[in-house]
Chain A
Amino acid sequence: MDAEAPRAAVSWENGTLAPVDHLRSDRADSPTPGLVEGTEPGAGQKSAMFVRAQSFEDLTAESEELIQREAQLDKPIESAEELEVLVGEKSIEEQHNNDVASENRTKEEDVSSEAWRSHRKHVFVLSEAGKPIYSRYGTEEALSSTMGVMMALVSFVEAEKNIIRSIHADGCKVVFLAKSPLVLVGVSRTCQSDKELLRELQYIYYQIVSLLTLTQLNHIFQHKQNYDLRRLLAGSEYLTDNLLHRLDRDPGLLLSAVTCLPLPSSTRDVVSSSLQAAKAKNLVFSILLAGDRLVTLVRKKDQFLHHIDLNLVFNLVGSSSSFREGEGWTPICLPKFNTAGFFHAHISYLEPASDLCLILVSTDREDFFNMSDCKQRFLERLNKRSAYQSLKEALKCPSYSVEQVGIPELRHFLYKSKSSGLYTSPAYPVVYQTDEEQERLMGLYQDLHSRLHHPTRPLRSLYRCTESENLMAWVTSGFELYLCFSPLGTKALAVSAVTKLLKWIRKEEDRLFILSPLTY
């Protein structure tokens, strides 16, 4: 493996929330201008759709200053016996035989079983009083003593005016994220870095906030420290389960980006302008999805959606069939926009069996019929201009094959345009057909990603050979690129592939990206 050191501090570090308008005069034919942000293939022509938060740095920025301190905590900490409860072999059984009511265990998975312990990644959410709120596997009741120990660990270290970040032991990482009034704990056997694990915990935190708002969370725990939050989260566990599943599989969550339905730009423009025309006083965002791909997003002028919020919306819509019944109307907090209050989302499919789902986000909870009316107006326009037909046509092939790119030995890639917050990626080729293979590939990408974004030693590019594939990653201020080649590939081939791929993406960009986002 070889790597180059970064040249300069990267631009997102002064994480402003206002997007920068990219005053680009020309859109050069050569792909190499992509080195500069705003000129890379896929960059929007006018302004960004999203809050300017290009990278997952944004997700972990708050904890960044603590990374240094973490170094000290990396070494084994004193309370070794307590640790064993989490990762040890025998002690966990004893622990539970003593103080867990046995009827709870039958409900789901036996938390003292080998199977439970061998899950690759556990996630626990607890209150600061140590009350269980969520567990990915097993019931929270059965795990209350384990969670109690976790909380004891957190407070033990906090008492010394330190903050516990992570514990490494026995092939297992335990990562802590304290987001008052919640504490999130990840226990992982994967080779993901602490930072990646923290990023995932952040997502779970935002997922919970999106259901309740932070204001409400704080209010509840100020009034009753040992409140059982599961009462309020009842019925939403599957949203968190599903988000965790996505975190293992969805490149969008890794790249802090979303992907688009490939669509002729003429069609996309009609869809966007039809949405733009169907506006209402309190309407803030109009989002059209095809499965988990974005068709278009129109926003109120000066209001920006954050990719995390958008990914939470994707998760909400994708996890539930409940919106298929009629028109959904639900409060939703978009935590990156504002953790204090609810928006109200009108969610409905364009047709009962269709993949096209329209989400209209309003500030007014009384706005249901206004939003319903906006949807009707949108549909009328779409039909009138016969764009609906071509949109449905495009739905038949929501992806493309890597062969179309015409680069030998290239199996798969992820390309993210930083200024637009959009990424593109071909369908998985035959070698990655099974879920396990796809997750393994994602694991490789995650590994590359965490090396590129290493908190103290970030890299600009890297080439890596494994037994079953050769991988390359390259990051500039304009884009992030991850390529997967067959083991027959060579480094020279990979380097030349990059130029060719960037050219191809440039050629296809108006189909693969949203180049002219609209506002109302």
Chain B
Amino acid sequence: MSAIRVDAKVVMLGKESVGKTSLVERYVHHRFLVGPYQNTIGAAFVAKPIQVGEKVITLGIWDTAGSERYEAMSRIYYRGARAAIVCYDLTDSSSFQRARFWVKELQNCEEHCKIYLCGTKNDLVSGDRSLRQIDYHDAQDFAEEIGAQHFETSSKTGNNVDELFQKVAEDYNSSAFEYMTEETSVDLGQKKDSYFYSCCHNN
């Protein structure tokens, strides 16, 4: 077994129960778990390789809890992230307020982090349009204002989920190209000079 090699750190942010964990489950394990809601404790990390053109890029995805209890800790999860998927629930307007909070937080603390605004549970609103509380165009306007990509997904049906992460990986790939032409990936087995090691110690 070799140490995990991670190219890009991706963080999932958003209010509790908007569907961050389900999004990661769908993307990584191609499944949707039903049953009683299990909130994430602290945060969960998973590494996922993804094909971009000729290359394989490994995303290191941090799924955070989103609860107030861990708010003070949240910086360690998004620090050094190349991408943040900020989620809100299409059927819950308060979750959009929370998304705005995270966007502000990222703009203040992580200017190099690309933001992906993601409206979740699309299947619910396509089944019953009266459930929609966040207008598509309002969210789109907000996304443009902050220079973010905007997606609406369903982890239940899988709608738009792969597209979201594919876009994240492609954007990383082209931006990594811009910044440096050298090998940018990190072998986490060699902790000392790893990307994570350094990014975690410059607070």
Contacts and interface: CB of A to CB of B under 8 A. Distances in A.
Interface string B69-82: 11001001000000
Interface residues of B, number: 35
Contact of B73 (A212, A320, A327, A331): A331
Given A369-B188, A369-B191, A234 B67 contact: yes
Interface in B56-71: 61, 63, 65, 67-70
Interface in B178-194: 188-189, 191, 194
Contact of A327 (B39, B40, B41, B45): B45
Given A365-B76, A369-B191, A325 B21 contact: yes
A284 interface: no
A373 B189 contact: yes
Interface string A358-378: 000000011011101100100
Given A234-B16, A321-B38, A373-B191, A365 B43 contact: no
B41 A322 contact: yes
Contacts of B76: 365-366
Interface in B1-25: 1-4, 16, 21, 24-25
A232 interface: yes
B45 A232 contact: no
A236 B69 contact: yes
Interface residues of A, number: 32
A381 B175 CA distance: 39
B41 A323 contact: yes
Interface in B74-93: 76
Nearest to A367: B200
Given A369-B188, A370-B191, A380-B1, A325 B24 contact: yes
B50 interface: no
B39 A326 contact: no
A373 B188 CA distance: 8
Nearest to A342: B73
Contacts of A457: none
21 contacts: A211-B69, A235-B16, A236-B39, A322-B21, A323-B44, A325-B25, A326-B44, A328-B41, A328-B45, A329-B43, A331-B42, A331-B70, A345-B42, A365-B73, A366-B201, A368-B45, A370-B191, A373-B3, A373-B189, A376-B189, A383-B1
Interface of A: 211-212, 231-236, 316, 320-323, 325-331, 345, 365-366, 368-370, 372-373, 376, 379-380, 383
